[in-house]
Structure 1
Amino acid sequence: MTTPETPAEAERPEPPGQPGRPGTAGRPASFADAVAAEWIKIRTVRSTFWTLLAGLVVTIGLSVLLALVFVSAYDQLTPRDRFQFDPTAYGLVGIQFGMVAFGVLGVLVVTGEYATGMIRTSLTAVPRRTRLFAAKALVLGLLVLVVGEIVSFASYFLSQLIFADRNLNEGLGEHGVLRAVIGGGLFLTLIALFALAFGMLLRHTAGAVTTVLGLLFVLPIIGSFLPGDFGVTIRKFLPTAAGGAVMGTRPSSDVLSPWVGLGVFALYTVVLLALALVLFQRRDA
């Protein structure tokens, strides 16, 4: 004979975490869950593939093309130009153009969700906004770091093969070369996170992309018109010049030292990410 339940026993809640039983409550999404979800989103969106492919083709293609142009025009160069030639930095010059694609990817990681309304679903699954934001930044950063290093090393090796015809190539073991090539991938990673911050700040694709490209390309043009030592100092600390300093192997008074320059750009990125996170927590989805 079954003993009838007392009212207290009948009202006792079911233990959580048991699927298939009515009234159970699922556990909250962990950071690992958020990272896994962001990885699924970023690798299943078509724009990710095409944007990364564009970045790869532009970066490697322009590095090879400009290396061929330089070698073909080498005989017309002045002795000073030949002396100042930096084979490693010149071989990575395509990164200065391919960074557009990685910046666009950083913007789309955020604004794509706002455009489709998926951000509400993401916040329902991961209500802790700090956790969601950190997961987005981590997944984007790791993806671009891997692709960026592949792009940087491919640009370097292919360009050095071309420079070898004139005995202008530099090996990875020479001073500063390995740092410069690795720095190319790090620079692209910071570009993507820099753009991610603006995507979160503006929440509009066209506005964020325009702002990022303006800061990366238009600011240096404006800086070039600033006169005297003041102009030189300002140009050193502009985002593109500061971050790109890590890809040089020749000392120059016109740019910051490699790691200092990358550190300055990283500081810009961290400040923008912090500001974006604060606004993300305060604003409605």
Structure 2
Amino acid sequence: MPGTWWLLLAVAAVTAAVGAGAVSGLSTAHCPPAGCREDVVRTSLAGVWAGQAPLAVFASLAVTAEYGTGTIRTTLTAVPARLRVLAAKAAVVGAAVLVAGGAGAWGALLAGRALVPAGFAPYDLGAGPVLRAGFGSALYLALVALLALGVGTALRDTAGSVAACLAVLYASPLVAGMLSDPEWVERLQRYGPASAGLAVQSTVGTDGLPIGPWAGLGVLAAWAAAALAAGGAVLRSRDA
């Protein structure tokens, strides 16, 4: 499908453009007297939050498009081992998104480094926390793609799969922002796929996070694995 390449380009472009815009919009007007403690690296990677939307469409289409056209029957006739089909799709989707997501994340970091306003400390692209945030963001997008692929395999409908995936990703941070109970807010931040996974972007005050950077990415990986397991179970048990 020619549209899938445009979606991958959209992921990279949106991730870089939104991040650059977020950094250029920083202002010292609201900083405390002690100075600004803004996590500029995480601000530079703010576009990942928006880039995951076209990514969910891309990954869902990797399987639901075949159900829409009926070519899934040809695929499963050629390769009767259904879990092998799903594993192949996961490998192709994950690799493609890893490249596109990495390009977007590092494009955002390069742009953010060049656009850091006066009053904010510029970051070193070779520093350990920055490397972790950059490569972790690419891994985050790849895991989101696998989550969407699993949901698409289970639901077999493009619109329903995209809606369900976006609800899972965006709902928990929005709900957490509306709750007044700090314990429930912390639970959602620790176990929600997006809020936990995006902890990998933090480079300032990581000790105070509800969940550690790599542990948060592990939570997202568990969500992706569960979605793929559910998709695999439906793929094996239902007729094409």
Bin the TM-score by the shorter chain.
over 0.9
AA in 2 matched with 1:136:
K
Q: Which has the larger radius of gyration?
A: 1
CA distance in 2: counterparts of 1:277 and 1:81, whole angstroms:
54
Shift in Å, 1:181: 0.6
Shift in Å, 1:173: 3.0
Which residue in 1 is equivalent to 2:189? 235
CA distance in 2: counterparts of 1:66 and 1:268, whole angstroms:
28
Corresponding position: 1:263 with 2:218: yes
Counterpart mapping for 1:110-149 below 5 A = 110-149=63-102
Counterpart among 19, 35, 38 of residue 85 in structure 1? 38
Which residue in 2 is equivalent to 1:249? 203
Contact 1:243 1:264 in 2 (8 A): yes
Which residue in 2 is equivalent to 1:191? 144
Q: TM-score, normalised by structure 1?
A: 0.79
Contact 2:36 2:120 in 1 (8 A): no
Range 180-189 or range 61-70, more displaced? 61-70
Counterpart among 227, 231, 237 of residue 276 in structure 1? 231
SS at match of 2:208: coil
Which residue in 1 is equivalent to 2:58? 105
CA distance in 2: counterparts of 1:94 and 1:183, whole angstroms:
14
AA in 1 matched with 2:21:
L
Which residue in 1 is equivalent to 2:170? 217
Shift in Å, 1:49: 1.2
Contact 2:14 2:50 in 1 (8 A): yes
SS at match of 1:85: coil
Q: Between the two structures, name the one with larger relative contact order (CA 8 Å, sep ≥ 6).
A: 2
**Alpha-carbon displacement from aligned partner over 1:12-65 (angstroms, at most 9, x marks no partner):** xxxxxxxxxxxxxxxxxxxxxxxxxxxxxxxxx112111112212211111111
CA distance in 1: counterparts of 2:226 and 2:35, whole angstroms:
40
Corresponding position: 1:54 with 2:54: no
Shift in Å, 1:254: 4.1
Question: Does the C-alpha gap of structure 1 residues 46 and 264 become closer, same or farther in structure 2, counting only changes over 3 Å?
Answer: same
Shift in Å, 1:168: 2.2
CA distance in 2: counterparts of 1:82 and 1:195, whole angstroms:
41
Q: TM-score, normalised by structure 2?
A: 0.94
CA distance in 2: counterparts of 1:104 and 1:94, whole angstroms:
17
AA in 1 matched with 2:13:
V
Shift in Å, 1:175: 4.0
Question: Does the C-alpha gap of structure 1 residues 118 and 82 become closer, same or farther in structure 2, counting only changes over 3 Å?
Answer: farther
CA distance in 2: counterparts of 1:230 and 1:248, whole angstroms:
21
SS at match of 2:110: helix
**Alpha-carbon displacement from aligned partner over 1:138-184 (angstroms, at most 9, x marks no partner):** 01111111111111111101111111654521112334111111001
Question: Does the C-alpha gap of structure 1 residues 68 and 108 become closer, same or farther in structure 2, counting only changes over 3 Å?
Answer: same
CA distance in 1: counterparts of 2:62 and 2:56, whole angstroms:
10
Cα root mean square deviation, aligned: 1.7
Instruction: Structure 2 unaligned segments of length 5 or more: list them.
Output: none
Contact 2:11 2:101 in 1 (8 A): no
CA distance in 1: counterparts of 2:141 and 2:33, whole angstroms:
31
Which residue in 2 is equivalent to 1:159? 112
